[in-house]
Copies of this chain bind each other. A is one copy, B any other.
């Protein structure tokens, strides 16, 4: 049995290393590859993907897992590796090859169609892609998770163990509180001064500040890189090789710095994984939602706090002296947290962001349930935007066509963003109970205790527990959106000078 386990470890290690190679070449594709090489790179990625798929679905791996599953002679870490490898193997081998290929083909075709449809504001060109994906993703669900509803199966891929019913209950609470709050804020006379965030912020200074903050909060540059790409992301091939990107625009200093902090949050998770099991499932990040909780923990809970703004206000004044004349820490803090409903999700602020996701979740859920049809999406989208955020997109490019997710069939992905925000808040308050001085730490630029706490409680835990178990273990209770709601209400009522809670 020991020998079989060793055999499993070897097979999983090979797969993990090949995946590490894949991550390096996909990073390279986004950050380094010459523009003329796209065609060749597609072939190279396909060849490597073929090898990885072959290894992940090898009958010998299945036999090895079958042997190990009937034995109980393993410790917690070993059990986790066997359990996770089995789940992965089952997921890979239960789906017919024809379906895998059809999905891959549609994903590639769908993306091209979406790019053009968005550019030309032609939803009808894109709607057949959604329609096809719906059918294929239902078929996929019936193969992958035959015992649960098709949408729950799609959710499970990103946030395992979480159902649409549970998410609906949580999101209904958010909606009920946040939509009226946003309405109040939008109609409030007092608005933060954001004028000093307009104008030109030289990119070399932005980049220097982004690197400084990333390093300050704990990113290890000897085990990672920070570069520029069209869309910010966190990639890399190993906990010792974590690569984040951001983008710079000379007239938007906040976006680039906070994107860098967001990706640093993801990166700290990856750099904090158990290094001795780096090539085994036990050390892998838990779910999309938990990953997002780490980026949002740093971006929202830490970096949008008054304490953080206090600490970095001097840097801001030093780097951008022409912008900081007459500005106080308080003005700075309020401007960073200004709330303004916008059509575009990726440009949304902390308070309006969840409503963008709730809207998408409701549409996906109702599509899978057959309660709405694809043709209704533009109108439904715009109606919900009006109800939740008080604005109505003037066209589909700024509405239903804005996100790429559906063009690749990534249904069930959106809720993780907001689950991540709720987790982040609940983790933060749990940490504050254990580290009551956390705000002073932040205000003095000492991020070590925070990073250590996250390393210990989350990053090093890998896949040992389910997200549901982990949140109870860390915070003493299941996921509870009430903390998140109280946090948002208190923070934004104060900033916007709205009457009591």
Chain A residues with CB under 8 Å of chain B are 13-14, 17-18, 20-21, 24-25, 28, 32-37, 39-41, 43-44, 46-48, 50-51, 220-225, 237-241, 278-279
Contact = CB atoms under 8 A, between A and B. Distances in A.
A39 B240 contact: yes
Contacts of A28: 24, 28
B32 A32 contact: yes
Nearest to A43: B17
Tally of this chain's copies: 2
21 contacts: A14-B47, A17-B43, A17-B44, A17-B47, A18-B51, A20-B43, A21-B44, A21-B47, A24-B24, A24-B44, A25-B25, A32-B32, A35-B222, A36-B222, A36-B223, A37-B223, A37-B238, A39-B240, A40-B239, A40-B240, A40-B278
Contacts of A25: 21, 24-25
A263 to B, nearest CB: 15
Contacts of A37: 223, 237-238, 240-241
A341 B24 CA distance: 43
Given A18-B51, A48-B18, A51-B18, A40 B237 contact: yes
A225 B34 CA distance: 7
- For the residues of A in contact with B, the DSSP-based class is helix
Nearest to A223: B36
A153 B92 CA distance: 47
A34 B237 contact: no
Given A28-B24, A51-B51, A240 B34 contact: yes
Contact of A241 (B18, B34, B237): B34
A221 to B, nearest CB: 7
Contacts of A51: 18, 51
A-B interface, 4 closest residue pairs, ranked by CB to CB distance from nearest: A17-B47, A37-B241, A40-B238, A36-B223
Nearest to A29: B24
Contacts of A44: 17-18, 20-21, 24, 237-238
Contacts of A48: 17-18, 21
A275 to B, nearest CB: 9
A223 B34 CA distance: 5
Contacts of A21: 21, 25, 44, 47-48
Contacts of A50: 14
Contacts of A32: 32, 225
